[in-house]
Structure 1
Amino acid sequence: MSKPTIPLTPGKYFHIYNRGINSCPIFYDDYDHERFLYLYQKYVGQIAETFAWVLMRTHFHLLIRIKEDMVYRYSMEEIRKMEGQRRNANRSLSLSRGADAVGFPQSEDALSFAKWEMGNIRDAGKKDSGTSVGCDAREQFPDVSGCGQGKTPNPSLHLGHLFNAYARYFNPKYHRHGSLFENQFKRKPIEDERYLLNVMVYIHKNPEHHGYCSDFRQYPWSSYHASLQEGNRFFGKEEVLEWFGSFDNFILAHSMKMEIEDMES
């Protein structure tokens, strides 16, 4: 019997990893890596903080924390359209689905097709540069389920959107078809600080462990380099250095031998 799927709970840290189906390659050139990172930020960066990542030819690893209190926020124009549809149940659905629309169940009517962005429910009502300045929380985060709150994101679906979007890029480029990734990505919850630090070091040293390079510091597609530079993408550098206590401790931890059991392959 298969184990029940572990939910990606807001506020929790997770080690996420996946590989190409039948261990097939998922990255061939630099642009493949860049495209994956772009799509990652687009689909996953909105719902998770990223603290470590590595991309290798056949698989990848992530260390993330699921953001809390995130909901889908709709533009006022979209809200007015949705309200109009609800007033007339027989009216044909007139909203067009955006390229980045989240696949909500059809029972949610117009919300299934609405344009959206992520917002934090705690920020509702604050002045922003966005779509609904001066609105109250109910206007910014319209009722989807009848309970007066906006719809919260499903992190697993966002990761699924990432994999699907990348496959749509990858398959035509390399004249292949069908599934690109294993059907169910792996996830391990991180419950204590020691394990958190070990997972980070493991992720950064993974290319060396698998023989992609003789020294993981030489591997280009890893967040290890983000710890040494300013302005790197979607990487919680300040938090990471705080966990290790100092930059020197971060370097030292990566130079020590570590146990890799129960970290994945």
Structure 2
Amino acid sequence: MQIIEPLESGKYYHIYNRGINSENIFKENRNHEYFLMLYNKHIDPITETLAWCLLKNHFHLLVRIKTSEEILENQNEDQIKKIILPHQSFGNLFNAYTKAINKGYNRHGTLFERPFKRKLIDNETYLRSVIKYIHYNPVNHGFCKHPIEYPWSSYLTCVSEKPTKLKRERVISLFKNIEDLKNLHNQNEDFDSLEKFLDL
């Protein structure tokens, strides 16, 4: 029986999943945009996001689960104060996205593998490695030669100055500064051992 790691407040997690039977979950650009809109609705209120990447048949997210106090404090005064459990918020995201894809592409049934995968990140070295791994995923899968060329990841946001909900300053501080972040992302890396750990 598979042990499901609970999502605990205040902790960092690498959350990832793929389409059922490796089916494509993002078929065109508007799918990426819709997923991110749903992410903003369901996940932003309960997490801080450090990195993300959406590929054709899978995705990677790196988040810190907010505490109950942080969630309540950021809710509007006219909202009914309530806490949705983190795994339920992710479930709501995946269910809403599945319904939209099923309706839009005349399909039915499950879109994602279940349960969604998650790994606790308990130190900064691991945190840095996962950030680079997520940004390098499109390179490793042959979509581009450098993370900056891929539009559906957080790397472009990390190296820009545009307003963002991404915890860009936190990410940059993990690499010391923006130049170190860019330099480390210019170096190819073998992620085989990390992928074995993730069971990808």
Indicate the SS of the match to 2:72.
strand
> What TM-score do the two structures reach when normalised by structure 1?
0.69
2:30 alignment partner in structure 1: 31
Which of 92, 110, 118 matches 1:161? 92
In the aligned structure 2, how far is the partner of 1:235 from the partner of 1:40? 12
Mapped contact 1:41–1:234 kept (Cα < 8 A) = no
In the aligned structure 1, how far is the partner of 2:143 from the partner of 2:115? 25
Q: Which stretch shifts more, 26-35 or 231-240?
A: 231-240
In the aligned structure 1, how far is the partner of 2:163 from the partner of 2:119? 26
In structure 2, stretches of 5+ residues that fail to align are none
Deviation at 1:129, TM superposition (A): 6.4
Mapped contact 1:49–1:236 kept (Cα < 8 A) = yes
In the aligned structure 1, how far is the partner of 2:99 from the partner of 2:109? 10
Q: Which has the higher helix share?
A: 2
- 1:246 equivalent to 2:177? Answer yes
- 1:262 equivalent to 2:194? Answer yes
- 1:189 equivalent to 2:120? Answer yes
Deviation at 1:70, TM superposition (A): 4.2
Indicate the SS of the match to 1:211.
coil
Output the amino acid matched with 1:154: L
What are the superposed Cα offsets for residues 140-178 of structure 1, whole Å, 9 maximum, x if unpaired?
Answer: 75xxxxxxxxx6431011000000001111111111111
In the aligned structure 2, how far is the partner of 1:236 from the partner of 1:129? 21
1:42 alignment partner in structure 2: 41
2:149 alignment partner in structure 1: 218
What are the superposed Cα offsets for residues 5-38 of structure 1, whole Å, 9 maximum, x if unpaired?
Answer: 1111101000000111110001111111000000
Mapped contact 2:72–2:83 kept (Cα < 8 A) = no
Which of 75, 78, 98 matches 1:131? 78
2:131 alignment partner in structure 1: 200
In the aligned structure 1, how far is the partner of 2:163 from the partner of 2:6? 29
What are the superposed Cα offsets for residues 187-223 of structure 1, whole Å, 9 maximum, x if unpaired?
Answer: 0000111000000000000011112223332111010
In the aligned structure 2, how far is the partner of 1:178 from the partner of 1:11? 34
Output the amino acid matched with 1:119: L
Output the amino acid matched with 1:39: L
Output the amino acid matched with 2:141: H
Output the amino acid matched with 1:195: Y
What is the aligned length? 196
Mapped contact 2:38–2:93 kept (Cα < 8 A) = yes
Please identify runs of 4+ aligned residues in structure 1 that moved more than 3 A. Answer: none
Relative to 1, partners in 2 of residues 1:186 and 1:232: Cα closer, same or farther, differing over 3 Å?
A: farther
Measured on the aligned residues, the alpha-carbon RMSD in Å equals: 2.0
Indicate the SS of the match to 2:194.
coil
Q: Which stretch shifts more, 25-34 or 62-71?
A: 62-71
1:13 alignment partner in structure 2: 12
